[in-house]
Amino acid sequence: MRYRLNFVIQEYVSDKVQYRQIAEEQDVWCIIDGKRDQLGHDFSNGKLIMVSSPKKSIIGDFAKQWCVKLYMPIWNEFEVEDCWKNVYCEKVPSESLESLKDKFKLCGGIPRLIFGDEYTHKLIHMRTNLEETEVEEKYKEDLRTFIETARDIPEMGSLRGQLFELVSHEILCQGGTFPVRKLTDDGSLGPETTLTLESLEEMFFDDISEIKGNTSQGQNKYYRPISKIFESIDSYVRYNKLFQVTVAKSHGIKQEGLRAIKGILKDSCRISFYFVLPKDIFETYTKKQKYENKGEGIRIDGWIKGDIDQYALCIDFNKCLF
């Protein structure tokens, strides 16, 4: 079609030669809607406009030749109302203007969604009123199941360990009573006791000095290092409770990490070092873990050897909620 002022001249072409002759006329605008144009637009008089959604499969070939790219903005509420009055009011009389305004608020100024099939509108609403608590519990149950069942899959070991650590921190923060067992030198099975923690506020630290101020003021916190490679401990609770989360059957203790936190430990209390374990590991985790020393052989600091008691602490997903 060719457009001249307020009227339209409609002409039909039968071949590409005739099409090009018409398309090259100065007052002709060729509008292409999602189909490959019949000839290249390497001429200066006529004007070709490709009107399409921004899909490469549609506009790719057209854009290879010289062209100017323009992007249509979304419609405003007045444009939607004007379109309804002039186009859709008689075609879809059952569609009220108020209904269109509701769609505008929901979808924004995208005509295809506002004037499109009513099913589109319904699909958008399909899951807006989610039962968040039920969904949350479902995902938590899936997470618990994965952590428990992935223990027999070696390839999942690292991921299982990371997920178990995240969950364990949340459980310990909530507080509660946890089964613990003191580890022995020879690995003999000691008596099972309990550790009770009150509800604690999680706090991350970058430097040990940040903990000193809080403990001196009597604030109960659950301290976690910001650094993922902080040696020896994953968390600390006053007084002298150190936690290392692991799903491994053995886990050495780096003395460098213990030396780094010595300044926050209370001299008048024994130090309790807890290995936080899933139930399947806890049942066979009985032997004291070795202290590791960086570049100095097997030398162990006297206070580390004499003042620290090692424990296994059980996180049982059947009893612990998170």
- What is the pLDDT, as a whole number, of residue 154? 83
Domain shared by 265 and 173, yes or no: yes
> Are 100 and 237 in the same domain?
no
DSSP secondary structure code for residue 290 in this structure:
P
Domain enclosing residue 140, as ranges? 135-315
CB within 8 Å of 183: residues ≥ 6 apart: 190, 275, 285, 286, 287, 288, 289, 310, 311, 312
The pLDDT assigned to 277 comes to: 96
Do 249 and 200 fall into the same domain? yes
pLDDT at residue 37 tops 60: no
**Higher per-residue confidence, 264 vs 212:** 264
The highest-confidence range among 9-13, 59-63, 162-166, 228-232, by mean pLDDT, is 162-166
Q: pLDDT band at 220, cuts 50/70/90?
A: confident
Amino acid at 174: Q
Using the predicted structure, report yes or no on whether residue 77 has a pLDDT greater than 90: no
Domain assignment present for 271: yes
Alpha-carbon separation of residue 202 from 170, 175, 220, 298 (angstroms)? 9, 11, 9, 35
Residue 211 has pLDDT above 50, yes or no: yes
CA separation for the pair 62, 165 (Å, rounded): 54
Residue 13 and residue 139 in one domain = no
- Interacting residues of 49 by C-beta distance below 8 A, sequence separation 6+: 29, 30, 31, 32
Looking at the structure, tell me whether residues 171 and 298 fall in a common domain: yes
CA-based R_g, the chain, Å: 35
Mark which of 64, 86, 101 sits at the end of a domain. Answer: 64
For residue 132, what pLDDT is reported? 73
Does residue 173 surpass a pLDDT of 90?
yes
Q: Is residue 69 part of a domain?
A: no
Please name the residues in contact with 222: beta carbons below 8 A apart, sequence gap of 6 or more: 169, 172, 173, 200, 201, 202, 203, 235, 237
For the segment 11-40, the average pLDDT, to the nearest whole number, is: 71
pLDDT higher than 70, residue 118 = no
Digit-coded pLDDT (tens) for 239-253: 899 999 999 999 999
* Residues above pLDDT 90, as percent of the chain: 33
- Within this chain, do residues 189 and 60 fall inside the same structural domain, yes or no? no
Is the domain of 212 the same as that of 266? yes
- Would you say residue 178 has pLDDT above 90? yes
Q: Is pLDDT above 90 for 192? A: yes
Pairwise pLDDT comparison (50 vs 158), residue with the higher score: 158
Q: Considering the chain, what percentage of its residues have pLDDT values greater than 70?
A: 79
Determine, yes or no, domain membership for 321.
no
**Count of domains observed in the chain:** 3
